[in-house]
Amino acid sequence: MPDGQLHLLPFDTVIAANEQDAGRLSVAVVPSASVLALLRAKAETASATRDRPLLAIGGVPYDRMTGPGPARAVPAGSAITGFFDAAMPGKLPTLPRAEAEVRMAAEILGPRSVVLVGDAATETALKKEDLSRYEVIHLAAHGFADQKFPERAAIVLLSDLGAGEDGLLQPREIARLGLRARLVVLSACETAVGPTIGQEGVLNVARAFLVGGASSVMMTLWPVSDAISAALMRQFYDHLVRGDDVSESLRASKRAVLDRFGPESMATVSAFQIVGDGAQRLGRPRSPSQTVGAR
């Protein structure tokens, strides 16, 4: 339960510096013991309703978001309609590995997974899903934060102006999604950034998913390498489907990636952290599947 600037410290990396403990201890961060107890109680009551392993969104065509057509987003500099409404940032680079990442996760977690990629990766499509049914939600997308006004942070998906959705999934919307997920994976920038609010932790996008009903969230403390992240994600999901809990799956995947890539991978490996109840396991451990239900 860190406080203040300690929220930016990768405790598992510090612990691993001790040769006796290196690679043995898994770590999760929680705002308080009371929050952890609430998360675990909520997870138990939600278990009966989750019948789909994964909802994954990625491959957002950011290169077309300021052009004509249905994938067009609100352009940069558009009027902000409310005090806490965010404005779409300027031109965003594409994320070339994002679609492959979400398809990989769906391949491992099984045929009842749902994948939203390309033109289907809209805020509208996300909100239309019955999110209470999913054990894991994985978002591979751009994100941004606002230190002064953390409510203006957002994960950037495709807009759907006809449905009144600007493509910016903000904390106040996330908190109302009705999640029951054991885990939300935020493969996005700045998901851990925000001001600290004492015993409540950090006011950031990751916290919004806990408020919205998720039991645990994987986030990054700083920008990471695409190639090393992809290797870590594959290892992570492999461990998750074999029955390891969330924190142990991340610990084991970090060790495997460090062994494979060496010290140059340390910055990326250290960035990935679990916030919330790291003892969560998938309801029914399963073998990887080759079938993906994509949209």
Residue 276 has pLDDT above 90, yes or no: yes
What digits encode the pLDDT tens for the residues 249-267? 999 999 999 999 999 999 9
Local confidence band at 201 (pLDDT 50, 70, 90 cut-offs): low
CATH number at residue 25: 3.40.50.1460
What is the domain extent for residue 125?
4-294
Rg (CA), the chain: 18
Residue 71 has pLDDT above 80, yes or no: no
Q: Quote the mean pLDDT of the chain.
A: 83
Nearest-CA neighbor of 95 among 236, 205, 227? 227
pLDDT at residue 211, as a whole number? 92
pLDDT at residue 133, as a whole number? 95
Residue 146 has pLDDT above 70, yes or no: yes
Report the C-alpha gap between 147 and 241 in whole angstroms.
36
Report the C-alpha gap between 207 and 219 in whole angstroms.
10
Residue 88 has pLDDT above 60, yes or no: yes
* 117-134 average pLDDT score: 96
Local confidence band at 185 (pLDDT 50, 70, 90 cut-offs): very high
Report the C-alpha gap between 258 and 228 in whole angstroms.
9
Local confidence band at 285 (pLDDT 50, 70, 90 cut-offs): low
Return phi, psi of residue 216, to 5°. -150, 155
Report the C-alpha gap between 242 and 144 in whole angstroms.
33
What is the number of structural domains in the chain? 1
The structure tokens 């991340």 sit at: 250
* 133-159 average pLDDT score: 90
Report the C-alpha gap between 200 and 202 in whole angstroms.
7
- The most confident of 17-21, 131-135, 196-200, 205-209, by mean pLDDT: 131-135
Residue 128 has pLDDT above 70, yes or no: yes
Kind and range of the H or E run holding 53: strand 52-58
Within its chain, how far is the Cα of 179 from the centroid? 13
Say whether 276 sits in a helix, a strand or coil.
strand
pLDDT at residue 66, as a whole number? 57
Higher pLDDT pick, 240 / 205: 240
Residue 37 has pLDDT above 80, yes or no: yes
Local confidence band at 68 (pLDDT 50, 70, 90 cut-offs): very low
pLDDT at residue 107, as a whole number? 96
Q: Which tokens sit at 292?
A: 């993906």
- 252-260 contacts at long range (C-beta below 8 A, 24 or more positions apart): 254/12, 255/23, 257/228, 257/231, 257/232, 260/231
Nearest-CA neighbor of 53 among 180, 191, 177, 174? 180
Nearest-CA neighbor of 118 among 106, 102, 105? 102
Q: What is the pTM of this model?
A: 0.86
